[in-house]
Structure 1
Amino acid sequence: MRRTPHRGEGKFTIFGKLILMFLVVITPLYTLGLLINARGEESVRAEIANSLESRVQFYMNALETEIERMVQLEREYIFDKDLQRLAFAMPIMDEYERTQRIISVGGKLKVIKSSSAYIRSVKAYLPSYRYAITSDDLTTNLIAEEYEAMVASIGRTEGAVYHWNGRYFINRAYPDATQFDPKRSYILSVELSVPALKASLAGFANYEGSGSALLDANGAWFIGGGSGIDVASSLAALRAGGGEDIGVAGSVRSVEAGDRMYLTAARTSELLQATLVVFIPSHEVLGKLDTYRNWFWILSLVSLFVIFLFSFWMYRLIHRPLSRLVRSFRSVEKRRLELIEDTGNKGEFGYLYRQFNAMVNELKVLIHTVYEQKIRAQSSELKQLQSQINPHFLYNSFFILYRLAKLKDLDSVVRFSQYLGEYFQYITRNAARQVKLEAEVNHVKAYVEIQTVRFSERIQAELEPLPQRFASVAVPRLFLQPLVENAYKYGVESKPKGGAIRISFQEEENKLRVVVEDNGPGMTDEALEALRIRLNASGDDVETTGLVNVHRRLCIMYGEGCGLRLSRSDLGGLRVEASLLRSETDEGIDQVMKSQ
C-alpha cells in the first residue's frame, strides 16, 4: 500500500526557498563589504599616521627655519660697529654720540625682534659698563644673576635653546667661546616667546586629551600645550607606558598609558638640541572606525533577521492588501491625496495604512509650507554669501593712522579715527542680513572719507544725494561698498593723479539704479565679456567674491531681473549698475527690518 506523505514532506517550501535566495544574493555582497571595510580601515589608519607624522615634521622644519633666521641675524649683528664701539669705547664718547649709537643698536635689536613671532625680546649685555640695551626699553641696568646665566650658556651648540628661570634664550658672544672674557666681552641674546611657542604647539592639541611638547635633549626643560590636560603629567604617564624612548624620533606608535591608548609621534632637531613629541588619544582619531566596525556587525545580524522576517512576510498571502496600497500610491502620483479607509486591520498592513494616511496628511501640510522653505533656503544662501565679504582696505587703515600720528597731524587723526570707528560700528554692530539703503549709503560715505585721507589729492570721489523715497528700501547689507572698493582698487588706485569716482542714483518708478563708475584704464572687450559671463553663471563651483558675490545676493533678494550690469563709463573706466526694487509701502519695509 502506497504511503501518503505528510504535508510539507519531501519538498522544499516557498519560505525556505525565499531564505535561500536572499542568502545566495547577500553572501557575496556581504563578503565583499567585509573585505572593503577591512581594507578601508587599514587605509584610514595609515593616512592618519602619515598625516600626524607629516604635521610633526612640518612644524619642526618651520621652527628650525625660524631659529636659523634668528641665529643668522645674531651672527650678522654681533659684529655691528655701533655695538662694538659701545662695548669697548663708551667712556671716550660724548653724550650725543653715545645716545645716537644706543638708538642705532636699539633699532637693530627691534629689527631682530620683529623678524619672528617667536621672539619675546632681544638684549645686548655690556658687562664692562654694567649696561644692557634691549629691543623694548633701549637701555637698562645689567642684572648680575641674569648675565651670569647667559655666560653659562656660552659654548653650547649654535642655535641650541638655553633654559634659565622659566625663560628660553638663544645666545651668541663676542668674541667666541675660546676667547670670551665675562668682564670685557659682550653677549647678544634672543629670548623666545613662551606664549607664542605654546600657542603654536597647541595647534596639534585639537583633540580632547591630546597634547604636544618640545623636550630638551637632556630632559632639563620642556614647553608644552594641550587640550584640557596637564602636559607634564601626560608625558610622565606616556613614558611609563611606552618607555623612556617615547621622545625618540621615529614612526607613529600606539602607547598605552593607564587605561587609554595614545598615538605618539616625535621628531628631533639637531639644531635646537630638542625633540617635538605629539600624543593624541587613539579613540579621538580612530574611535569612529571602531564604531563603524561595531555597527557593521550589528547591521549583519539585523540583515539576517530582516531576511528571515521578509521571507516570512512574502510567504503569506499579501496580494489583496498590497494591491490596495499600490492603488493608493498611484492616486498620490496623480496628485489625488486620498486617505485609505480604516479596515480594522491590526497587522503590518494596518500599520502601513495608518502610516500612509499620516504621510498624506503630512504632504498636505508640506504643500502649504513649500514656499516658506524656499525662502528659508534663499535666506541661508544669502547669509553664506554675505559672510564671505571682507573689506580689503582695512589692511592698510592702521598704517595710515600710524603715519598721521607720526606726522603729528592731530586733526587728521581725529577725523580718520571717527570715520574708521563708524565703519567698524556698521560692520560689527549686528548680524542683520538686510538694512535700509540710507544706512548702507552712510556707510559708503565713511568708507569714501577714509579713502580720501589715504589717497589725498590723487583721487576725487563724488557721491550724489540719495532720493528720499528710496531711503527706507531694504537692501542686502554690505552690497554697495564692494562696488566702490572695486572702483578704487582696480580702477583709479594706480593713477598718479586725476583719479575720479562717481556714485549716482537713477529713479525708474519702483526701481532704483545705483551707478558706480570711474575714470580708470577700463577693461578690454574680452575681459568685460568674460566678467559678464561670470555674473550670469550659476552653481556652487562658481567663485562667489567681489562683483559676482554682490550680483548673486541682489538676485536672491530681488529676483533674476535685478543684480549688476557692466558697461563702459563716460568717464573712461568701468560702469557698474546695481538694480534695486522698492516695495509697495514703507510700512511693509519697516516690518521686514524689524523682523531682523
Structure 2
Amino acid sequence: MRLKYSTFRRITLFIFLLLIPIMVLYAMSNRVSVQVLTEEVTSLKQKDLDYFANDINKTVDSISTLGFILSQDIHIQKLRHLHLLETKYELTEEKLRMLERLQLLNVTGTWDTQYSIMSPENEQIISTSSTLFSYDLDMLRERYSPVWEYKTLTFMGSTGKWFLRHIVKPVIDQTELENAGLIVELSFREEDLVRELDQFKVGGSGDPFLYGPGGEVILNRTANSEMVEQITQRIREEGALAYSNRITELNGEDYLIGSREIPSLGWYVVDYIPLQSIVQPIHKSRNLFYGSMALLLVMSVVAAYLLYKNVQRPIVQLIRGVQKLKMGDYSARITSDPKNEFTFLFHRFNEMAAETEQLIQKVYVEEIRAREANLKQLQSQINPHFLYNCFALIRSLTRLNKKDSVMELVLHLSKYYRYTTRVEKQSASLKEELDLVESYLKIQQLHIQHLRFEMHVPSSMWNLEIPRLLLQPLVENAVLHGVEPADSDGLVQILGEESEAFHCIHVIDNGVGLTESELVKLEKDIHSAPTEETGCALWNIQQRLRLQFGDQAKLLFKRRAEGGLKVTVQWPKSPHSIQPLEIERQGEN
C-alpha cells in the first residue's frame, strides 16, 4: 500500500513534522541563550581582568614613583655626605632618621615592599630589608636592573623570588655603578602577587595566574598546575595577545581564556573559566525539554498505533478485499472482527462479495462460451484453398521426385493443422504460436520461391500466454497480400520487443503495402463489427486481445517508407513473465 494512502504513516509523519519545528526553534533559542550568556560572561571577565591588571599596575607604579621621589629627597641625599660627619654617633643617628623615613613609606603600602638607598661614593647603605647590612658593589652589579625584573635572590642562605628595580639618575651602565650618586633599590616578593591572585580568585570560577615575558609563571595557591601548563604552552606558541579573549578546547571541554597586560611589569594576568559550568543550567533546561519531547513523541506514537490498530488496519483489510475483487478474486472475504463500526462494514462487504461472485460466475460462463465461439469462428475461416494448394504442391513435388521437400511439407502441414484444430485450450504460449508461424512460412516458401522470413523474438517472451491463432492471420496477410503480389524478393520479419510497460510483436513485410487511404480504412474497420465485405480476422484478433489483456491491448498499423507494412500486436506486461535466455530463429529459401 502506498504511503499517501496509509493513515498510520501519515499521522506518524505529521507528528514528526509537528515536533521537528518545535525542537528546531528551541535549539535555536537555546543556542542564542548560550551565546548571550557566553558574551555576558566574556564581558564581565574582561572587566575583572582589566580591574585586576590596572590595580596591580597602579601599585607597581606607585612603588616606582616613591622610588623616584626618594632619589630626589633632600633628606635622603644626605646619605652621600655621611662620611663628612665628625663622629660615629652623628653618622648612626642620621642613618636611623633616613631608615625611619623609609620604614614609614613601607608601612603605608599594602605590599611588603623593600626600599634600599646606596651611595657608591662613600659605600653607605640604608635599607628596610633585614638582609642588606653592608654595601657590596659586586652584589649590586649582579642585581642591578633599571626596569622591573623577576629574579631569584639569596640573602643569608635564604633563596626567594623577587621583583627588583633600581633607580639611578641619570641612568648609567652596569659597569659604572661606582660612579653613580644615589642608587634606589625597589623590591617586593612574589608572595605579594600570589596573595593578590588568591583574592582575585575568591568568589569566582576562574583560576588566574601571571605569565612573564620569558615564560615564567606565578600561580595562585590553589591553581590547577596541569591546566595552567596546557594554557601556557599555547601562549608560548601563539603569544599572550592571541588569548586576550578566546574560547579554546582543553581536555575535550571549551574554556574561556582571557589575558591583560600589566604594563609596568611587562607581565600578563591570565584567567580561564570552563564554559560548561556556566551554561550548565541552560543545558539542564535543554535536556529537560528534550526529555519532554521524547516522552511526547512516545505517547504520540502509542496514540498513532492505537489509531492504526483500530482504524488503519481495518481500512487496510477492507482495501485489500476491494483490490482482490478488482483483480478478479471474488472469493475474497474479511474474517476479522474489530468489534467496532468496521464490523458492520465487513459484514456488508462479505455479502456484496458473495453476490458479486455469483453474478461474475454467470457472466464468466457466458464469456467463455463467447470466446470459444469466436475461436471456432476464426478456425472455420481458415482458407480451404490453402489446404488444396498444399495438396497440389505435394503432387507437383512428387512428380519432380523431390522426396525431401515433400516430407518437409507434410511435416509442417501436420504441425500446422494439429495446432489450428485444437479447441480444448483457448490460449497458448508465444513459442507455440511462433512454431505455428514458422511451419506456415516454411510451407509458403515451397510455394513462393522469392519468400524469405526472419524471426527475432527474445526468449524472455516465449512463455507469455496469448490467445491461440493470434499471429498466424497477420503473417498470412503479410504473405498473401504483401509479398506474393510483389515482383521483388519478399521478406517477412517477426520481431519481439519488450518496453517498460508493454510486450510487442511486430509483423513486417516489404511487399506492396497499403496506401494512406487504405490504411485509414483498415484502422477504422477493425474497430467496427465485421461485415461480409470487411471480413472479421483482424477484428477478431483485436477483440480477443482486449478480452484477455484489457483496453490497453491493441493492433497498430504503420506504412514503411521502404515499402510494405508493419503490424504491431501490443499488450500490457504480465508480472509473472518467465525470463529464459534469448535466442534467434531465422528461415531462408
Q: TM-score, length-normalised on structure 2? A: 0.43
Q: Which has the higher contact order (CA 8 A, sep 6+)?
A: 2
> Rg larger in 1 or in 2?
2
TM-score with structure 1 length normalisation? 0.42
